[in-house]
Amino acid sequence: MSVLSNRNFLLLWIGQIVSNVGDAVAFLGIAAVVLYQQGGGPLEAGGFLVAAALPMLLVGPIAGVYVDRWSRRRTMIAADVIRAVLVLLFIFAASPWEIYIIVFAVSTVSRFFYPARSAIIPEIVGRDELVEANSLSQMTFMLSSIMGPAIGAVVIGFMGTVFAFVFDSLTFIASALFIGLIAIRESRRPRRRRKTGAEILTGLRIMFRSRRIGFLSRLLVLITVVMGGINLLYFLYVRDVLGMDVTALGMLEMFYGAGAVLGGVGAARVSRALGRGTSMGLSGVLMALSLASMSFLPLFWVAAAAMLLVGVGSIIFTSIFNAHIQASVEARDRGKVFGVMGAVIQGCMIISLIVHGFILEWIDLLLLLRIDAVYFALVSAGFLLSRYRAEMDAPVPGQEGE
């Protein structure tokens, strides 16, 4: 990819690879403890996911405001160092509640890191490279789903969960070092600063009142209000439907990552060939078909193929979505927009987790998967048939609100 010839983006990308692999290893370690060592059910698994999601809802909008005020590069370095310390606390966690607290703390710090990274990319690469940069960034995140579980399975199998958390800590330090080597002159922040609440409202207005961005934001709400519950179903599907252990969970994560790599490589090409809107709509249809296949044919290799396709669809959707937002929002507002957007997403995912957890007390997991698949198909079809899909296929404007 030509964007890798950009030294600053290359450093950001390498740091992302290292820390994401570490996160995948630690994630497998937490799953091993909560689901298998402690025998957690839907509520325990959901508690872990809610603990990870809550900070984006509670802290995300505020973090986005400060990301626009501070140096984004220094913010990312500080977040990496703090997380390197926090993940070591997992070693001493003796109960699910202690795990939840640490997950909450790590996720809180991450709320400053991710908006800063999303906001700094347009200052590193050119406008015509945004889709490629975002697809590569998202692909890298999913690539860690291939390498991370493989490394995690070996680490946990031979060294135990303790070393998995030590490994994650070391990767945060390495990421901070790579980001520290980035040499850019960041865009100047406005001297006159409004109150934090006013800036959060600005992010909300841009997100929902802008005609071009507002529709995408509403589409994202429709998707994430179900996606959080699907994450919960996925954990329980491996253990309760397939009857397999954490190794199988890691293997399916690897197939998901492989699909993301394929989607990342082709995202820019697909969006140029089919149009951005059409590509996003078809990626949703692809994910709906994948969920349906898992529910009707509960076999490991069917699930592996389905996860591969989910990876392809999700990376295409996310890459195009992020590129559109980055190109449509002015530099001074990107941090707060991504912060508010993250809060809205996580709010929807928390609702989805709670609702799915309660529904599972009344209906079968496979039936709930089928219901979710139908929902995805209807949302995607509605988008493909809408006039907004055609607008998405048109060139992205230079400024938000055009």
State which of 32-36, 123-127, 199-203 shows the largest mean pLDDT.
Answer: 123-127
3-state secondary structure string, 286-297? HHHHHHHHHHHC
Give the residue with greater pLDDT, 370 vs 161.
Answer: 370
Q: Band of the pLDDT at 192, cuts 50, 70, 90?
A: very low
Confidence of residue 297 (pLDDT cuts 50, 70, 90): very high
Q: Is the pLDDT of residue 17 over 90?
A: no
Length of the chain: 402
Residue 186 scores a pLDDT above 50: yes
pLDDT at 167: 84
Rounded mean pLDDT, 374-398: 78
Between 246 and 234, residue with greater pLDDT: 234
More confident residue, 197 or 266: 266
Highest-confidence segment of 52-56, 132-136, 182-186, 390-394: 52-56
- Give the pLDDT score at 128: 67
- Give the CATH fold of the 2-183+196-393 domain: Growth Hormone; Chain: A; (1.20.1250)
In the chain, how long is the greatest CA-to-CA distance? 59
CB atoms within 10 A of CB 91: 16
Asked if residue 399 lies in contact with residue 317, where contact means CB atoms within 8 angstroms, the answer is: no
- The reported pLDDT for the residue numbered 289 is 92
pLDDT of residue 157: 67
pLDDT at 86: 93
For the chain, the average pLDDT equals: 78
Q: Which two tokens stand for residue 184?
A: 């850019």
Confidence of residue 371 (pLDDT cuts 50, 70, 90): very high
pLDDT for 81 beyond 80: yes
* Per-residue pLDDT tens over the stretch 268-294: 788 788 888 888 888 889 889 999 999
- Write the pLDDT tens digit of every residue in 120-164: 887 777 766 776 777 677 666 666 666 776 677 677 767 777 877
Tokens of 202: 């600005």
% of residues, the chain, pLDDT over 70: 78
Domain boundaries, the chain: 2-183+196-393
Ranked by mean pLDDT, which of 21-25, 164-168, 202-206 comes out on top? 164-168
- Between 206-210, 305-309, 353-357, 385-389, the lowest mean confidence (pLDDT) is in 206-210
Q: What is the pLDDT of residue 189?
A: 52
What is the DSSP annotation of 235-272? HHIIIIIS---HHHHHHHHHHHHHHHHHHHHHHHHHHH
Is the pLDDT score of 310 beyond 60? yes
Count of beta carbons in the 10 Å neighbourhood of residue 196: 15
Predicted confidence at residue 141, as pLDDT, reads 67
Higher pLDDT: 42 or 322? It is 322
